[in-house]
Homo-oligomer: A and B are copies of this chain.
Amino acid sequence: MGIVVVGTVAFDTVETPFGKGENVLGGSATYFATSASFFSDVSLVAVVGEDFPEEHVAFLRSRDINLDGLQRIAGKTFHWTGKYGYDLNEAQTLDTQLNVLLQFNPELPAAYRDTDVLFLANIDPELQLQVLDQVKQPKLTACDSMNFWISSKPEALKEVMKRVDIVVINEGEARMLTGEANLVRAARQIIALGCKRLVVKRGEYGVLMFTADTVFAAPALPLEEVFDPTGAGDTFAGGFMGYLANTGDFSEEGLRQALVFGSVMASFNVEDFSLNRLKRLSYPEIEQRYRSFKSLTTFRDIEPLA
């Protein structure tokens, strides 16, 4: 199966206690597509401006990502500027230049509309709905979002969450969306919107995946060197959905395995600025790190007391 991802391709300027990246390649669709490309065919829908360099296009092509849906229009590419403190858990946004994103009209090329798997990265939920209207019979759909849309367009966002199979958001967003401090109750409310499954990202604490009657917890791998968490969530989603598109196994077991692959991809991404770590990543390294996750979490079955 192949994946279509709709999201942003951007320039990021990021400062962490460990260094600074200026005008580096970023954007939710970029991270997602690059990560997913290790597992599956990926087709991307996004918009960039006239300033977007050929070098980045060439990189995405080198990952075999279909760019027929990458629109280039007059103006400047979306540019995000942010900063992380020592705890690296929350970015402080210093500046957002939406630029061409303001005119983004996610038209799917005809060949994309038959896609089996669709990921709606964080964009205006009204555009996400527009995309959902264009795909024919997807077997698996998922969406991300952010606090900005939760407060500004909650109804459109809830409509998206009603129509997709999986919602992937972070812990704070799940609480904000539901007004519920307890995460289990928040999950129940979000699933009641209509999606079957909720994946809650918790940064360095890992990920929880809820259905109406199951819960799975995958920790993050404790890392000695974390340079830049930018894009970790989208890289996670890319590994998760990419692995699912590869196997086509949407059972609870298949989804758990895919979730760990997503966590593996995120664990690599934070080890360097921008997509630098993914650029030099190989599949054997991914398999090796999957085994590290296994050994990180394995414990014995119950035995009778002595």
Contact = CB atoms under 8 A, between A and B. Distances in A.
A305 B87 contact: no
User: How many copies of this protein are present in the complex?
Assistant: 2
A39 interface: yes
A181 B219 contact: no
A184 B222 contact: yes
A301 B294 contact: yes
A184 B88 CA distance: 14
A218 interface: yes
Given A87-B181, A182-B223, A182-B224, 7 more contacts: A39-B305, A86-B181, A184-B222, A208-B219, A210-B222, A215-B222, A247-B306
A71 interface: no
Contacts of A148: none
Contact of A222 (B183, B222, B287): B183
B256 A226 contact: no
Interface in A256-271: 256-257, 259-260
Nearest to A298: B256
A217 interface: yes
The interface centre, meaning the residue of A87, A204, A217, A225 with most chain B CB atoms within 10 A of its CB, is A217
A205 interface: yes
A219 B185 CA distance: 18
Interface string A264-306: 0000000000000000000100010011001011111111011
Interface of A: 39, 86-88, 181-185, 187, 202, 204-206, 208, 210, 215-219, 222-226, 246-248, 253, 256-257, 259-260, 283, 287, 290-291, 294, 296-303, 305-306
Nearest to A258: B299
A64 to B, nearest CB: 15
Nearest to A255: B299
A196 to B, nearest CB: 18
B206 A257 contact: no
Contacts of A302: 287, 290-291, 294
A125 to B, nearest CB: 27
Contacts of A290: 302
Contact of A216 (B86, B291, B296): B296
A300 B255 CA distance: 10
Contact of A246 (B182, B215, B306): B306
